[in-house]
Amino acid sequence: MKRRTVGDVMTRNVVTVSEDTPFIEIADTLAERRISAVPVVDDDGRLTGIVTEADLLRKQEHRGGAEPRRFALRRRPQAQAKAAAFDARGLMSTPVATVEPHTPVAEAARLLNARGFKAVPVVKKDGRLAGIVARRDLLSVFHRSDPAIRDEIIEDVLISRLWQDPAEVHVRVLEGVVHLTGRVERKSLIPIIVRMTAATEGVVDVVQNLGYDYDDTRPTAYPRA
């Protein structure tokens, strides 16, 4: 089965703003559309930055002359600039972390998790905005039935790619958790089967209890000449 990419799950009709869009209009857009960020694009549709709820909150944070906390001192000039901004040009963060439409879903999920992002813009090779992908979009890969997951593991992983007899390796899937039991010829095959099974879309976890006929992971002792 073809692995899904960001282009398969992203939102294509993206709400965007220009660099001249006023603060109030951006705030209203986020509230009305119930979104947490909005990409900033130029006249050619190329991504130039992104404005998030956190960027807008800088103005409220610095209102009244409150001193920033110590851990934020290094970011004070940038934060104060955003607090004084009145349009997207001054509010936006740039450069922007992005992915391309052909980026694997798993890779995009790792990026969002590592950076703590709720969503990330999707851009084409020419820099034009193609869409936006959110955490909820990436989670759609887990909306697969257990039988569909089991069939793919048997047909794609065991038979087509590893040439394993499905009568020897038994696959059971329960709510996305794959249970592997049975026996393989070589011990070194076990981590390979587990890794490829875990990479199957929709798999939440892999539990294996596989035996083996031959331990090929131990160094062979050769007799001295």
pLDDT at 71: 46
> CA angle at residue 119 from 138 to 149, to 5 degrees?
5
Instruction: Please report, for residues 56, 133, 180, the alpha-carbon distance to residue 144 in angstroms, rounded to integers and kept in the order given.
Output: 38, 19, 19
Residue 16's pLDDT band, with cuts at 50, 70 and 90, is very high
pLDDT at 221: 53
Name the segment(s) of the chain with CATH classification 3.30.1340.30: 146-214
Judge: domain 6-141, CATH 3.10.580.10.
yes
Residue 185's pLDDT band, with cuts at 50, 70 and 90, is very high
Report the C-alpha gap between 20 and 158 in whole angstroms: 56
Name the segment(s) of the chain with CATH classification 3.10.580.10: 6-141
Instruction: Kindly report which listed range (57-71, 80-94, 98-112, 198-212) carries the lowest average pLDDT score.
Output: 57-71
Instruction: Kindly report which listed range (17-31, 67-81, 93-107, 125-139) carries the lowest average pLDDT score.
Output: 67-81
Fold of 146-214: Histidine-containing Protein; Chain: A; (3.30.1340)
> Strands 169-174, 205-214: parallel, antiparallel or unpaired by DSSP?
unpaired
Q: Is the pLDDT score of 83 beyond 50?
A: yes
